[in-house]
Amino acid sequence: MVRWVALILIVLLIALQMKLWHGNGGVREVETLRAAVKKQGEDNDKLQQRNQALGADVDDLKHGEQAVEARARAELGLIKPGETFYQVVEKPGANQAPAPAASTGGR
């Protein structure tokens, strides 16, 4: 009788261990979810920093004339009255290194 009880308890222990390690909601799944939560937290931090930078940019554009002027100069080519505009045009291929001589590979 005692042997049967011990055998049933051992089988039950093995079944519970299998569920703990390999079953739904087991240790592997918990570790996978923890890693996903950590990665999502890092992504959220990056996006939070980006949002703060964009918010500061929006605030500058709403309240500061210098930011609007700088953006207009950079993106739209704003030139104030009395300023002289100079455009530097480089010759095509002026900054390129000469092409190496082709090798035929023959002897």
pLDDT at 72: 84
The secondary structure of residue 73, as a DSSP letter, is: I
pLDDT band at 107, cuts 50/70/90?
A: very low
pLDDT at 99: 56
Whether 20 contacts 27, CB under 8 Å: yes
Quote the domain boundaries for residue 60.
Answer: 2-76
Residue 63 lies in a domain: yes
Specify the number of domains making up the chain.
Answer: 1
Which pLDDT tens digit goes with each residue over 28-86?
888 989 999 999 999 999 999 999 999 988 888 788 788 788 888 888 888 888 888 88
Residue 8 lies in a domain: yes
Does the pLDDT at position 94 exceed 80? Answer: no
d(CA 65, CA 56): 14
